[in-house]
Structure 1
Amino acid sequence: MSYYYFYYLVIIIFSNSISVFCQEQRIYRELITEPTKFTPEYKRIISHDELPVVKNELSITLKLYLESHGSVWYNVFHKGRWETSNISIPALWLKPNDSVPFPSCSNTGNSNIGLAMDGYGFLLNRWYHIAYTISNLDKRMNFYMDGEWVGSFSIKYIQGQSFIFNDGPLYIGWHRWKGFTGQISNFRYYNFRLSHSEVLMDYSGEDPTKYNDNDESSKKYFIDLTIAFFLGIMVLAGGLFIHKIIIRRRYQEIPNPM
Protein backbone atom coordinates (compact mmCIF):
# COMPACT_ATOMS: atom_id res chain seq x y z
CA MET A 1 0.00 0.00 0.00
CA SER A 2 2.92 2.36 0.74
CA TYR A 3 4.01 2.06 -2.88
CA TYR A 4 0.73 3.60 -4.04
CA TYR A 5 1.33 6.59 -1.77
CA PHE A 6 4.81 6.90 -3.20
CA TYR A 7 3.57 6.97 -6.80
CA TYR A 8 0.81 9.39 -5.84
CA LEU A 9 3.45 11.73 -4.39
CA VAL A 10 5.48 11.55 -7.61
CA ILE A 11 2.39 12.46 -9.66
CA ILE A 12 1.67 15.47 -7.40
CA ILE A 13 5.23 16.74 -7.74
CA PHE A 14 5.11 16.26 -11.52
CA SER A 15 1.80 18.16 -11.81
CA ASN A 16 3.00 21.01 -9.62
CA SER A 17 6.18 21.33 -11.68
CA ILE A 18 4.11 21.95 -14.80
CA SER A 19 1.69 24.33 -13.08
CA VAL A 20 4.50 26.46 -11.66
CA PHE A 21 5.99 27.12 -15.08
CA CYS A 22 2.66 27.51 -16.89
CA GLN A 23 0.73 29.52 -14.32
CA GLU A 24 0.75 32.82 -16.23
CA GLN A 25 -2.51 33.08 -18.13
CA ARG A 26 -3.73 35.59 -20.67
CA ILE A 27 -6.99 36.74 -19.15
CA TYR A 28 -9.27 39.76 -19.07
CA ARG A 29 -12.18 41.06 -17.09
CA GLU A 30 -15.08 42.86 -18.74
CA LEU A 31 -15.95 45.67 -16.33
CA ILE A 32 -18.78 47.16 -18.39
CA THR A 33 -20.78 45.16 -20.93
CA GLU A 34 -23.98 46.96 -21.87
CA PRO A 35 -23.96 50.67 -22.86
CA THR A 36 -23.77 52.67 -19.63
CA LYS A 37 -24.57 56.36 -19.31
CA PHE A 38 -21.82 58.58 -17.87
CA THR A 39 -22.15 62.21 -16.75
CA PRO A 40 -19.61 64.60 -15.22
CA GLU A 41 -20.86 63.48 -11.81
CA TYR A 42 -21.17 59.74 -12.44
CA LYS A 43 -18.18 57.41 -12.37
CA ARG A 44 -17.14 53.81 -11.81
CA ILE A 45 -14.34 52.92 -9.39
CA ILE A 46 -12.79 49.45 -9.57
CA SER A 47 -10.36 48.46 -6.82
CA HIS A 48 -6.96 47.05 -7.73
CA ASP A 49 -7.81 43.67 -6.18
CA GLU A 50 -10.78 43.23 -8.52
CA LEU A 51 -8.58 43.42 -11.64
CA PRO A 52 -6.42 40.73 -13.27
CA VAL A 53 -2.88 40.65 -11.91
CA VAL A 54 -0.55 42.73 -14.10
CA LYS A 55 3.22 42.41 -14.17
CA ASN A 56 4.75 44.18 -17.17
CA GLU A 57 1.90 44.56 -19.66
CA LEU A 58 -1.75 45.47 -19.89
CA SER A 59 -4.40 46.49 -22.39
CA ILE A 60 -7.74 48.25 -22.21
CA THR A 61 -10.42 48.16 -24.87
CA LEU A 62 -13.82 49.83 -24.86
CA LYS A 63 -16.51 51.41 -26.98
CA LEU A 64 -17.04 55.13 -26.43
CA TYR A 65 -19.94 57.42 -27.38
CA LEU A 66 -19.67 61.18 -26.69
CA GLU A 67 -22.72 63.41 -26.45
CA SER A 68 -20.88 66.71 -25.91
CA HIS A 69 -17.38 68.18 -25.78
CA GLY A 70 -16.01 69.34 -22.47
CA SER A 71 -14.79 72.85 -21.71
CA VAL A 72 -11.79 71.50 -19.73
CA TRP A 73 -9.59 68.41 -19.87
CA TYR A 74 -11.67 65.40 -18.91
CA ASN A 75 -10.98 61.75 -18.31
CA VAL A 76 -12.20 58.47 -19.84
CA PHE A 77 -10.18 56.15 -17.61
CA HIS A 78 -7.33 56.47 -15.17
CA LYS A 79 -5.62 54.01 -12.80
CA GLY A 80 -3.71 55.35 -9.82
CA ARG A 81 -4.11 57.07 -6.48
CA TRP A 82 -4.44 60.63 -7.72
CA GLU A 83 -4.91 61.91 -4.16
CA THR A 84 -1.30 61.08 -3.27
CA SER A 85 0.51 60.50 -6.56
CA ASN A 86 0.61 61.56 -10.21
CA ILE A 87 1.53 58.03 -11.30
CA SER A 88 -1.00 56.81 -13.84
CA ILE A 89 -1.04 53.67 -15.98
CA PRO A 90 -3.24 53.42 -17.91
CA ALA A 91 -4.90 56.78 -18.58
CA LEU A 92 -6.89 58.35 -21.40
CA TRP A 93 -7.72 62.06 -21.43
CA LEU A 94 -9.78 64.13 -23.85
CA LYS A 95 -8.79 67.69 -24.72
CA PRO A 96 -11.26 70.58 -24.28
CA ASN A 97 -13.66 71.63 -27.04
CA ASP A 98 -12.78 68.98 -29.65
CA SER A 99 -12.25 65.79 -27.55
CA VAL A 100 -8.87 64.96 -29.06
CA PRO A 101 -7.65 61.82 -27.27
CA PHE A 102 -4.52 62.02 -25.14
CA PRO A 103 -3.46 58.52 -24.02
CA SER A 104 -0.87 58.88 -21.28
CA CYS A 105 1.28 56.87 -18.90
CA SER A 106 4.04 57.18 -16.29
CA ASN A 107 7.63 56.04 -16.54
CA THR A 108 10.74 56.46 -14.45
CA GLY A 109 11.61 59.64 -16.33
CA ASN A 110 8.21 61.37 -16.34
CA SER A 111 5.07 60.80 -14.27
CA ASN A 112 2.75 62.09 -17.01
CA ILE A 113 3.71 61.60 -20.62
CA GLY A 114 1.73 60.58 -23.67
CA LEU A 115 0.43 61.29 -27.14
CA ALA A 116 -1.43 64.37 -28.35
CA MET A 117 -3.57 62.82 -31.07
CA ASP A 118 -4.31 66.03 -32.99
CA GLY A 119 -6.47 65.36 -36.01
CA TYR A 120 -8.20 62.39 -34.33
CA GLY A 121 -10.81 64.26 -32.30
CA PHE A 122 -13.92 62.22 -31.50
CA LEU A 123 -17.08 63.22 -33.32
CA LEU A 124 -20.25 63.47 -31.27
CA ASN A 125 -23.10 60.98 -31.30
CA ARG A 126 -21.25 58.04 -32.81
CA TRP A 127 -19.57 54.96 -31.36
CA TYR A 128 -15.79 54.41 -31.43
CA HIS A 129 -13.78 51.34 -30.52
CA ILE A 130 -10.66 52.24 -28.53
CA ALA A 131 -7.67 50.10 -27.58
CA TYR A 132 -4.82 51.13 -25.29
CA THR A 133 -1.84 48.78 -24.88
CA ILE A 134 1.38 49.18 -22.92
CA SER A 135 4.36 46.89 -22.42
CA ASN A 136 7.59 47.10 -20.46
CA LEU A 137 8.93 44.28 -22.61
CA ASP A 138 8.46 46.37 -25.76
CA LYS A 139 8.99 49.71 -23.96
CA ARG A 140 6.01 51.06 -25.88
CA MET A 141 2.45 52.30 -25.53
CA ASN A 142 0.11 51.92 -28.52
CA PHE A 143 -3.26 53.51 -29.23
CA TYR A 144 -5.90 52.23 -31.65
CA MET A 145 -9.19 53.66 -32.93
CA ASP A 146 -11.72 51.41 -34.67
CA GLY A 147 -9.03 48.77 -35.15
CA GLU A 148 -6.57 51.19 -36.76
CA TRP A 149 -3.16 51.78 -35.14
CA VAL A 150 -3.05 55.57 -34.87
CA GLY A 151 -0.36 56.39 -32.31
CA SER A 152 2.61 55.08 -30.38
CA PHE A 153 4.92 56.27 -27.64
CA SER A 154 8.27 54.55 -27.03
CA ILE A 155 10.74 54.90 -24.19
CA LYS A 156 13.98 56.30 -25.60
CA TYR A 157 16.37 55.18 -22.86
CA ILE A 158 15.53 51.50 -22.99
CA GLN A 159 18.07 50.30 -20.42
CA GLY A 160 17.56 53.13 -17.96
CA GLN A 161 13.79 53.68 -17.95
CA SER A 162 10.63 51.64 -17.64
CA PHE A 163 6.90 52.15 -17.27
CA ILE A 164 5.56 52.38 -13.73
CA PHE A 165 2.53 50.24 -12.93
CA ASN A 166 0.60 50.88 -9.74
CA ASP A 167 -1.81 49.29 -7.27
CA GLY A 168 -4.30 52.14 -7.21
CA PRO A 169 -7.97 51.88 -8.18
CA LEU A 170 -9.19 52.18 -11.74
CA TYR A 171 -11.45 55.20 -12.34
CA ILE A 172 -13.79 55.04 -15.33
CA GLY A 173 -15.40 58.27 -16.54
CA TRP A 174 -13.90 60.58 -13.94
CA HIS A 175 -10.71 61.91 -12.34
CA ARG A 176 -10.07 64.83 -10.02
CA TRP A 177 -11.74 66.97 -12.67
CA LYS A 178 -15.16 66.33 -14.16
CA GLY A 179 -15.76 63.40 -16.44
CA PHE A 180 -17.39 63.27 -19.83
CA THR A 181 -21.01 63.07 -20.96
CA GLY A 182 -21.75 60.00 -23.05
CA GLN A 183 -21.74 56.21 -22.91
CA ILE A 184 -19.27 53.35 -22.49
CA SER A 185 -19.74 49.67 -23.31
CA ASN A 186 -17.58 46.55 -23.57
CA PHE A 187 -14.88 47.89 -21.27
CA ARG A 188 -12.23 45.15 -20.99
CA TYR A 189 -9.08 45.06 -18.85
CA TYR A 190 -6.41 42.61 -20.10
CA ASN A 191 -3.31 41.45 -18.22
CA PHE A 192 -1.20 41.34 -21.40
CA ARG A 193 -0.40 43.48 -24.46
CA LEU A 194 -2.80 42.99 -27.32
CA SER A 195 -1.14 42.74 -30.72
CA HIS A 196 -2.72 44.57 -33.65
CA SER A 197 -4.36 41.34 -34.82
CA GLU A 198 -5.78 40.80 -31.34
CA VAL A 199 -7.08 44.37 -31.23
CA LEU A 200 -8.94 43.63 -34.47
CA MET A 201 -10.37 40.50 -32.86
CA ASP A 202 -11.63 42.52 -29.90
CA TYR A 203 -13.01 45.12 -32.33
CA SER A 204 -15.02 42.42 -34.11
CA GLY A 205 -16.32 41.00 -30.82
CA GLU A 206 -14.05 37.93 -30.62
CA ASP A 207 -12.02 36.77 -27.62
CA PRO A 208 -8.28 37.47 -28.12
CA THR A 209 -7.33 35.23 -25.18
CA LYS A 210 -8.11 32.20 -27.33
CA TYR A 211 -5.51 33.25 -29.88
CA ASN A 212 -1.93 34.44 -29.48
CA ASP A 213 0.22 35.83 -32.29
CA ASN A 214 2.71 37.47 -29.93
CA ASP A 215 6.00 35.79 -30.84
CA GLU A 216 7.70 36.62 -27.56
CA SER A 217 4.81 35.27 -25.49
CA SER A 218 4.68 32.12 -27.63
CA LYS A 219 8.41 31.54 -27.24
CA LYS A 220 8.22 32.09 -23.49
CA TYR A 221 5.31 29.68 -23.17
CA PHE A 222 7.17 27.02 -25.20
CA ILE A 223 10.33 27.45 -23.12
CA ASP A 224 8.37 27.22 -19.86
CA LEU A 225 6.53 24.13 -21.07
CA THR A 226 9.81 22.49 -22.14
CA ILE A 227 11.42 23.22 -18.78
CA ALA A 228 8.36 21.88 -16.97
CA PHE A 229 8.48 18.69 -19.07
CA PHE A 230 12.14 17.98 -18.35
CA LEU A 231 11.71 18.90 -14.70
CA GLY A 232 8.85 16.42 -14.48
CA ILE A 233 10.98 13.74 -16.18
CA MET A 234 13.78 14.38 -13.68
CA VAL A 235 11.37 14.11 -10.76
CA LEU A 236 9.90 10.90 -12.16
CA ALA A 237 13.34 9.40 -12.81
CA GLY A 238 14.47 10.35 -9.34
CA GLY A 239 11.34 8.80 -7.87
CA LEU A 240 11.91 5.53 -9.71
CA PHE A 241 15.56 5.48 -8.60
CA ILE A 242 14.56 5.97 -4.99
CA HIS A 243 11.88 3.30 -5.38
CA LYS A 244 14.48 0.79 -6.62
CA ILE A 245 16.73 1.57 -3.68
CA ILE A 246 13.83 0.98 -1.28
CA ILE A 247 13.02 -2.38 -2.90
CA ARG A 248 16.69 -3.40 -2.87
CA ARG A 249 17.07 -2.57 0.80
CA ARG A 250 13.91 -4.46 1.70
CA TYR A 251 15.13 -7.47 -0.27
CA GLN A 252 18.46 -7.38 1.57
CA GLU A 253 16.62 -7.26 4.89
CA ILE A 254 14.73 -10.50 4.20
CA PRO A 255 16.35 -13.18 6.45
CA ASN A 256 18.01 -16.11 4.71
CA PRO A 257 16.15 -19.30 5.69
CA MET A 258 19.41 -21.29 5.34
Structure 2
Amino acid sequence: MMGINNNMIMNYYYFYYLIIIIFSNSISVFCQKQEQRIYCELITEPTIFTPEYNRVISHAELPVVKNELSITLKLYLESHGPGRERATRTPALWLRSGDSAPCPRFSITGDFDAGINLNNYGFLLNRWYHIAYTLSNLDKRMNLYIDGKWVGSFSMTNIQGQSFIFNDSPLYIGRNFDWNGFTGQISNFRYYNFRLSHSEVLMDYSGVDPTKHNGNDECLNNSFVYLAMAFFLGIMVMILVGILFIPSIIIRRSYQAIPNSM
Protein backbone atom coordinates (compact mmCIF):
# COMPACT_ATOMS: atom_id res chain seq x y z
CA MET A 1 0.00 0.00 0.00
CA MET A 2 2.87 2.36 0.68
CA GLY A 3 4.04 1.94 -2.93
CA ILE A 4 0.62 2.95 -4.22
CA ASN A 5 0.53 5.97 -1.97
CA ASN A 6 3.96 7.10 -3.13
CA ASN A 7 2.89 6.75 -6.76
CA MET A 8 -0.19 8.82 -6.07
CA ILE A 9 1.89 11.54 -4.48
CA MET A 10 4.36 11.50 -7.39
CA ASN A 11 1.53 11.75 -9.93
CA TYR A 12 0.11 14.58 -7.90
CA TYR A 13 3.38 16.55 -8.14
CA TYR A 14 3.75 15.73 -11.85
CA PHE A 15 0.30 17.17 -12.41
CA TYR A 16 1.28 20.36 -10.54
CA TYR A 17 4.43 20.81 -12.64
CA LEU A 18 2.42 20.14 -15.81
CA ILE A 19 0.17 23.09 -14.97
CA ILE A 20 3.20 25.32 -14.44
CA ILE A 21 4.70 24.24 -17.79
CA ILE A 22 1.44 24.91 -19.65
CA PHE A 23 1.17 28.43 -18.24
CA SER A 24 4.86 29.13 -18.86
CA ASN A 25 4.51 28.12 -22.51
CA SER A 26 1.44 30.34 -22.85
CA ILE A 27 3.41 33.28 -21.46
CA SER A 28 6.26 32.57 -23.87
CA VAL A 29 3.90 32.57 -26.87
CA PHE A 30 2.26 35.76 -25.63
CA CYS A 31 5.60 37.54 -25.31
CA GLN A 32 6.70 36.42 -28.76
CA LYS A 33 3.55 37.95 -30.24
CA GLN A 34 4.21 41.19 -28.39
CA GLU A 35 7.75 41.30 -29.78
CA GLN A 36 6.63 41.16 -33.42
CA ARG A 37 7.10 44.89 -33.80
CA ILE A 38 8.83 46.59 -36.70
CA TYR A 39 9.82 50.02 -37.93
CA CYS A 40 10.98 51.60 -41.15
CA GLU A 41 13.76 54.21 -41.15
CA LEU A 42 12.72 56.61 -43.87
CA ILE A 43 15.60 59.07 -43.42
CA THR A 44 18.94 58.08 -41.88
CA GLU A 45 21.61 60.68 -42.58
CA PRO A 46 20.92 64.42 -42.07
CA THR A 47 18.91 65.64 -45.04
CA ILE A 48 18.53 69.32 -45.93
CA PHE A 49 14.96 70.60 -46.29
CA THR A 50 13.83 73.88 -47.79
CA PRO A 51 10.33 75.43 -47.96
CA GLU A 52 9.95 74.01 -51.48
CA TYR A 53 11.43 70.54 -50.83
CA ASN A 54 9.74 67.53 -49.30
CA ARG A 55 9.86 63.76 -49.18
CA VAL A 56 6.72 61.84 -50.10
CA ILE A 57 6.42 58.26 -48.82
CA SER A 58 3.64 56.13 -50.27
CA HIS A 59 1.39 54.16 -47.94
CA ALA A 60 2.71 50.87 -49.33
CA GLU A 61 6.24 51.73 -48.15
CA LEU A 62 5.16 52.11 -44.51
CA PRO A 63 4.70 49.35 -41.91
CA VAL A 64 1.12 48.12 -41.58
CA VAL A 65 -0.60 49.99 -38.74
CA LYS A 66 -3.70 48.70 -36.95
CA ASN A 67 -4.25 50.46 -33.64
CA GLU A 68 -0.94 52.09 -32.77
CA LEU A 69 2.00 53.91 -34.32
CA SER A 70 5.02 55.98 -33.34
CA ILE A 71 7.24 58.41 -35.22
CA THR A 72 10.67 59.54 -34.07
CA LEU A 73 13.04 61.96 -35.76
CA LYS A 74 15.82 64.43 -35.20
CA LEU A 75 15.08 67.99 -36.25
CA TYR A 76 17.36 70.97 -36.88
CA LEU A 77 15.78 74.35 -37.68
CA GLU A 78 17.56 77.19 -39.44
CA SER A 79 14.50 79.46 -39.62
CA HIS A 80 10.89 79.40 -38.47
CA GLY A 81 8.32 78.30 -41.03
CA PRO A 82 5.35 80.26 -42.37
CA GLY A 83 2.65 78.21 -40.72
CA ARG A 84 0.69 74.98 -40.99
CA GLU A 85 -2.35 73.60 -42.73
CA ARG A 86 -5.35 72.31 -40.78
CA ALA A 87 -6.16 69.16 -42.72
CA THR A 88 -7.20 65.60 -42.00
CA ARG A 89 -4.07 63.61 -41.29
CA THR A 90 -3.09 60.88 -38.88
CA PRO A 91 -0.37 61.42 -37.94
CA ALA A 92 0.63 65.06 -38.42
CA LEU A 93 3.16 67.28 -36.70
CA TRP A 94 3.04 70.97 -37.63
CA LEU A 95 5.28 73.86 -36.59
CA ARG A 96 3.60 77.10 -35.60
CA SER A 97 4.51 80.24 -37.49
CA GLY A 98 6.96 82.56 -35.77
CA ASP A 99 8.35 80.30 -33.03
CA SER A 100 8.01 76.77 -34.51
CA ALA A 101 6.09 75.50 -31.48
CA PRO A 102 5.18 71.83 -32.12
CA CYS A 103 1.51 71.16 -32.89
CA PRO A 104 0.81 67.41 -33.09
CA ARG A 105 -2.48 66.79 -34.89
CA PHE A 106 -4.60 63.78 -35.83
CA SER A 107 -8.13 62.80 -36.78
CA ILE A 108 -10.45 61.12 -34.30
CA THR A 109 -14.10 60.13 -34.42
CA GLY A 110 -16.10 63.35 -34.64
CA ASP A 111 -13.08 65.66 -35.05
CA PHE A 112 -10.93 65.68 -38.19
CA ASP A 113 -8.38 68.09 -36.64
CA ALA A 114 -7.78 67.12 -33.01
CA GLY A 115 -4.53 67.64 -31.18
CA ILE A 116 -2.63 69.98 -28.90
CA ASN A 117 -0.57 73.16 -29.21
CA LEU A 118 2.50 73.58 -27.01
CA ASN A 119 2.15 77.32 -26.66
CA ASN A 120 4.99 77.66 -24.16
CA TYR A 121 7.44 75.48 -26.05
CA GLY A 122 9.13 76.72 -29.21
CA PHE A 123 12.08 75.08 -30.93
CA LEU A 124 15.27 77.15 -30.87
CA LEU A 125 17.16 77.67 -34.09
CA ASN A 126 20.46 76.03 -34.98
CA ARG A 127 20.30 73.09 -32.61
CA TRP A 128 19.21 69.45 -32.88
CA TYR A 129 16.09 68.07 -31.18
CA HIS A 130 14.86 64.50 -30.83
CA ILE A 131 11.09 64.20 -31.27
CA ALA A 132 8.89 61.19 -30.51
CA TYR A 133 5.18 61.13 -31.32
CA THR A 134 3.03 58.14 -30.29
CA LEU A 135 -0.63 57.23 -30.91
CA SER A 136 -2.60 54.35 -29.39
CA ASN A 137 -6.24 53.41 -29.89
CA LEU A 138 -5.82 50.90 -27.08
CA ASP A 139 -4.85 53.65 -24.63
CA LYS A 140 -6.97 56.34 -26.39
CA ARG A 141 -3.96 58.61 -26.06
CA MET A 142 -1.34 60.63 -27.91
CA ASN A 143 2.03 61.40 -26.30
CA LEU A 144 4.75 63.79 -27.41
CA TYR A 145 8.36 63.62 -26.22
CA ILE A 146 11.20 66.05 -26.90
CA ASP A 147 14.77 64.99 -26.13
CA GLY A 148 13.42 62.03 -24.18
CA LYS A 149 11.16 64.15 -21.95
CA TRP A 150 7.38 63.78 -21.92
CA VAL A 151 6.14 67.27 -22.84
CA GLY A 152 2.51 66.85 -23.92
CA SER A 153 -0.39 64.45 -24.32
CA PHE A 154 -3.98 64.19 -25.53
CA SER A 155 -6.52 61.78 -24.04
CA MET A 156 -9.94 60.99 -25.47
CA THR A 157 -12.86 61.63 -23.14
CA ASN A 158 -15.45 59.48 -24.91
CA ILE A 159 -13.58 56.20 -24.52
CA GLN A 160 -16.28 53.97 -26.04
CA GLY A 161 -17.27 56.25 -28.91
CA GLN A 162 -13.97 57.73 -30.11
CA SER A 163 -10.94 56.31 -31.89
CA PHE A 164 -7.99 57.56 -33.90
CA ILE A 165 -8.71 57.48 -37.63
CA PHE A 166 -5.71 56.14 -39.51
CA ASN A 167 -5.56 56.55 -43.29
CA ASP A 168 -3.85 55.14 -46.37
CA SER A 169 -2.69 58.48 -47.78
CA PRO A 170 0.98 59.24 -48.50
CA LEU A 171 3.22 60.54 -45.72
CA TYR A 172 4.63 64.01 -46.43
CA ILE A 173 7.89 64.95 -44.71
CA GLY A 174 9.08 68.56 -44.74
CA ARG A 175 6.08 70.19 -46.36
CA ASN A 176 2.56 69.37 -47.46
CA PHE A 177 1.60 69.52 -51.14
CA ASP A 178 -0.04 72.98 -50.80
CA TRP A 179 2.00 74.67 -48.08
CA ASN A 180 5.64 75.65 -47.79
CA GLY A 181 7.81 73.74 -45.38
CA PHE A 182 10.69 74.68 -43.09
CA THR A 183 14.38 75.40 -43.60
CA GLY A 184 16.63 72.98 -41.77
CA GLN A 185 17.53 69.30 -41.54
CA ILE A 186 15.93 65.98 -40.56
CA SER A 187 17.69 62.74 -39.70
CA ASN A 188 16.85 59.33 -38.19
CA PHE A 189 13.18 59.50 -39.18
CA ARG A 190 11.58 56.24 -38.02
CA TYR A 191 8.02 55.03 -38.45
CA TYR A 192 6.97 52.30 -35.95
CA ASN A 193 3.90 50.08 -36.11
CA PHE A 194 3.42 50.18 -32.33
CA ARG A 195 3.31 52.65 -29.44
CA LEU A 196 6.69 53.35 -27.92
CA SER A 197 6.70 53.42 -24.14
CA HIS A 198 8.66 56.16 -22.38
CA SER A 199 11.56 53.79 -21.75
CA GLU A 200 11.56 52.83 -25.43
CA VAL A 201 11.53 56.51 -26.45
CA LEU A 202 14.66 56.94 -24.33
CA MET A 203 16.21 53.96 -26.12
CA ASP A 204 15.48 55.51 -29.52
CA TYR A 205 16.84 58.83 -28.24
CA SER A 206 20.10 57.14 -27.21
CA GLY A 207 20.41 55.31 -30.54
CA VAL A 208 19.26 51.85 -29.34
CA ASP A 209 16.75 49.85 -31.40
CA PRO A 210 13.56 49.43 -29.27
CA THR A 211 12.34 46.50 -31.40
CA LYS A 212 15.28 44.40 -30.14
CA HIS A 213 14.37 45.07 -26.52
CA ASN A 214 12.91 41.78 -25.22
CA GLY A 215 11.76 43.03 -21.85
CA ASN A 216 9.00 45.39 -22.89
CA ASP A 217 6.84 46.61 -20.03
CA GLU A 218 3.55 45.09 -21.16
CA CYS A 219 5.02 41.62 -21.66
CA LEU A 220 6.75 41.66 -18.29
CA ASN A 221 3.64 42.83 -16.47
CA ASN A 222 1.50 40.13 -18.05
CA SER A 223 4.20 37.53 -17.37
CA PHE A 224 4.09 38.27 -13.65
CA VAL A 225 0.30 38.10 -13.68
CA TYR A 226 0.21 34.74 -15.45
CA LEU A 227 2.98 33.28 -13.30
CA ALA A 228 1.11 34.33 -10.18
CA MET A 229 -2.07 32.75 -11.56
CA ALA A 230 -0.20 29.53 -12.34
CA PHE A 231 1.35 29.43 -8.87
CA PHE A 232 -1.93 29.91 -7.02
CA LEU A 233 -3.76 27.50 -9.32
CA GLY A 234 -1.10 24.91 -8.60
CA ILE A 235 -1.52 25.48 -4.86
CA MET A 236 -5.29 25.05 -5.16
CA VAL A 237 -4.83 21.82 -7.11
CA MET A 238 -2.44 20.53 -4.43
CA ILE A 239 -4.98 21.35 -1.70
CA LEU A 240 -7.83 19.76 -3.66
CA VAL A 241 -5.88 16.57 -4.35
CA GLY A 242 -4.81 16.48 -0.71
CA ILE A 243 -8.42 16.73 0.45
CA LEU A 244 -9.46 13.87 -1.84
CA PHE A 245 -6.58 11.43 -1.25
CA ILE A 246 -4.96 12.11 2.12
CA PRO A 247 -8.00 10.95 4.17
CA SER A 248 -8.04 7.64 2.32
CA ILE A 249 -4.33 7.21 2.97
CA ILE A 250 -4.86 7.89 6.67
CA ILE A 251 -7.78 5.47 6.81
CA ARG A 252 -5.78 2.76 5.10
CA ARG A 253 -2.82 3.29 7.39
CA SER A 254 -5.14 3.28 10.42
CA TYR A 255 -6.71 0.07 9.21
CA GLN A 256 -3.28 -1.51 8.85
CA ALA A 257 -2.39 -0.44 12.38
CA ILE A 258 -5.23 -2.51 13.91
CA PRO A 259 -3.61 -5.61 15.47
CA ASN A 260 -4.67 -9.00 14.24
CA SER A 261 -7.03 -10.60 16.78
CA MET A 262 -5.67 -14.04 15.86
How far did residue 109 of structure 1 move? 1.7
Tell me the amino acid that sits aligned with residue 179 of structure 1: G
Please tell me whether residue 26 in structure 1 is matched to residue 26 in structure 2: no
* Counterpart among 170, 179, 182 of residue 180 in structure 1: 182
Q: Structure 2 CA distance, aligned partners of 1:22 and 1:190?
A: 16
* Alignment correspondent of 1:89: 90
1:199 deviates by 0.1
Q: Which has the higher helix share?
A: 2
* TM alignment of 1:198-237, pairs within 5 A: 198-211=200-213, 212-215=215-218, 219=222
Cα offset for 1:217?
9.0
The answer on whether the counterparts of 1:143 and 1:151 sit within 8 Å (CA) in structure 2 is: yes
TM-score, normalised with respect to structure 2: 0.69
Residues 82 and 180 of structure 2 are in contact (CA less than 8 Å); yes or no, is this contact kept in structure 1?
no
Rate the CA distance shift 1:59–1:23 in 2: closer, same or farther, 3 A: closer
Count of paired positions: 194
What letter corresponds to residue 198 of structure 2 in structure 1? H
Structure 1 residues 60 and 152: alpha-carbon distance in aligned structure 2, compared to 1, 3 A threshold = same
Amino acid paired to 2:217:
N
What is the Cα deviation at residue 210 of structure 1? 1.2
Q: Is 1:49 the counterpart of 2:60 in the alignment? A: yes
CA RMSD of aligned residues (A): 2.3
- Which residue in 1 is equivalent to 2:255? none
Report what 2:135 is aligned to: 134
Q: Percent identity?
A: 69
Give, in whole Å, the separation in 2 of the partners of 1:71 and 1:87.
19
Match of 1:36 among 47, 50, 70: 47
1:29 touches 1:51 (CA, 8 Å); kept in 2? yes
Partners of 2:157 and 2:186 lie apart in 1 by 34
Q: Is the 8 A contact 2:147 2:205 kept in 1?
A: yes
Partner of 2:252: none
Matched residue type, 1:189: Y
Equivalent residues of 1:87, 1:164 under 8 A apart: no
Letter in 1 for 2:218: D
Q: Name the counterpart of 1:149.
A: 150
Q: Is the 8 A contact 2:82 2:181 kept in 1?
A: no
Larger radius of gyration between Structure 1 and Structure 2? 2
1:157 deviates by 0.1
Provide the C-alpha distance between the structure 2 equivalents of 1:163 and 1:219, rounded to a whole number of angstroms. Answer: 25
Residues 1:33 and 1:125: Cα distance change in structure 2 (over 3 Å): same
Specify every segment of 5 or more residues in structure 2 that has no aligned partner in the other structure, as ranges: 1-28, 227-262
* Distance verdict in 2 for CA 1:104–1:31, change over 3 Å: same
Q: Residue 172 of structure 2 corresponds to which residue in structure 1?
A: 171
Quote how far apart the aligned CAs of 1:23 are. 9.3
Deviation per CA, 1:176-231, whole angstroms, max 9, x where unpaired? 211111000000000000000000000000000012423169749x99xxxxxxxx
Q: Is the 8 A contact 2:41 2:188 kept in 1?
A: yes
